[in-house]
Amino acid sequence: MPLFIHDISAALYLSAAMGWEVLWGLILGFTLSAMVDALVSKAEMQRLLPDASARSITRASLLGAASSSCSYAAVAVARSLFRKGGDFTAAMAFQFASTNLVIELGILLVVLMGWSFGAAEFVGGPIMIALLVVMFRFFLRPHMVRTARKQADRGLQGRMEGHAGMATMAKTGSWRDRLASEEGWDAISHYFVMNWSMLWKEIAVGLLISGTLGALVPNSFWHVVLFTGDPVLSKLWGPVIGPLIAVASFTCSIGNVPLAAVLWNGGISFGGVVAFIFGDLIILPILNIYRKYYGLRMAAFLAVTFYVAMVLAALALEVLFGAAGIVPAARSANVGEVAFSLNYTTVLNVIMLLLAGWLYRRYRRTGGPEMMRAMESGGGDGPHHHGG
């Protein structure tokens, strides 16, 4: 077999193996996320985010964590909140939480890399948001916000505006009533399929990039790039370069996790992994959306402040988790070497695939495809009678 055919086969196998390893976690995460989206009303979020006070920022962070989204959808929802009267800083806090404090991301980190990385997500997210708020208070000027609001009100299209409309749509009754109703489960099925439709490309690209790097790039390359020969320099360099690797990879949200596992095995520091995961909000396509939404000056401001917050939060986690002795000593992230065997992963995958099939069938039977077409055409409101 020619060498390049062997290399391609090895990369594709590793990509598929990693996909199989995380499949049950993805389905479980998307199901839980869909339940939160369908059952928790966020129609009045902009009223709850009137300013940049500690109360508003806390609300924004909690609402964002309960509104897990891909990065593109989170950015669209944040602009929607801002246009409807929400505070800009609170909207950005919501955006950060919506991509970095979410169920499915935590599950994948635990499955592929271990519980300490999942814990780092939920500890680092609030630290990063707090740093962002402090920088906004020092450097964000009122005239910059006024200019950004004027640009936002132009309503230029980015991606996922339909999701933004659906996320802020009114829901009737309590969450318990919706959970016990047929309409509630119809809405859950709609959100489940919608989340997959938003993220499957990012997940696939992330797996392909990770499989290619894992199969073809030797660890010796990462050791040089990441300065693994100097433990102190490596811990400082990892958080600096982590977000920049995310920018170069173009993947976002949970699509970053498989590549994070490859980087960890290759020698990047614990803080570097965290910074890389957080870097999904400054990849080049999203920076371009910031430019459309808020103007070039605000896009540049967000790029710099987001990057600094990511680096500082990752450095803080390196110190905190290191002092607590919970940074893993072994670099043994699961990148699929033992996939496709009859084990607990296979059993969980089969169970979750049956659940996914049931939800997809419900989605088809209750007007889901029509709702999706409306979202893709910019309608975005979804079927009100399904409670979503």
Residue 219 placed within a domain: yes
State pTM to two decimals.
0.77
pLDDT tens string for the chain (388 positions)? 566 777 788 888 888 887 888 788 888 878 877 887 777 655 556 566 778 899 889 988 888 887 666 677 788 878 878 887 889 999 999 899 988 887 878 888 888 888 999 999 999 999 999 999 999 999 999 999 999 999 998 877 665 555 555 554 555 666 677 777 888 888 889 888 887 887 787 788 878 888 888 788 887 888 888 998 899 999 999 999 999 998 887 666 677 888 888 899 889 999 999 999 999 889 888 898 899 999 999 999 999 999 999 999 999 999 999 999 999 988 877 666 555 667 778 898 999 999 999 999 999 999 888 877 776 665 444 433 333 3
| Among candidate residues 278, 222, 309, the one with its CA nearest the CA of residue 100 | 278
Residue 302 placed within a domain: yes
Q: Are 67 and 101 in contact (CB under 8 A)?
A: no
**Total domain count for the chain?**
1
Residue 386 placed within a domain: no
Q: Give the integer Cα–Cα distance in Å for 200 and 19.
A: 11
Residue 355 placed within a domain: yes
**H helix intervals, 229-269:** 231-249, 257-266
Residue 4 placed within a domain: no
Q: Give the integer Cα–Cα distance in Å for 144 and 337.
A: 50
At 378, list the tokens: 């910019």
Give Cα separations from 144 to 132, 288, 321 (angstroms): 16, 18, 37
3-class state of residue 70 by DSSP: coil
Residue 2 placed within a domain: no
Residue 199 placed within a domain: yes
Which residue is listed with tokens 């967000």? 302
Q: Give the integer Cα–Cα distance in Å for 118 and 102.
A: 10
Residue 187 placed within a domain: yes
At 381, list the tokens: 């409101």
**Residue 359 belongs to what domain range?**
9-378
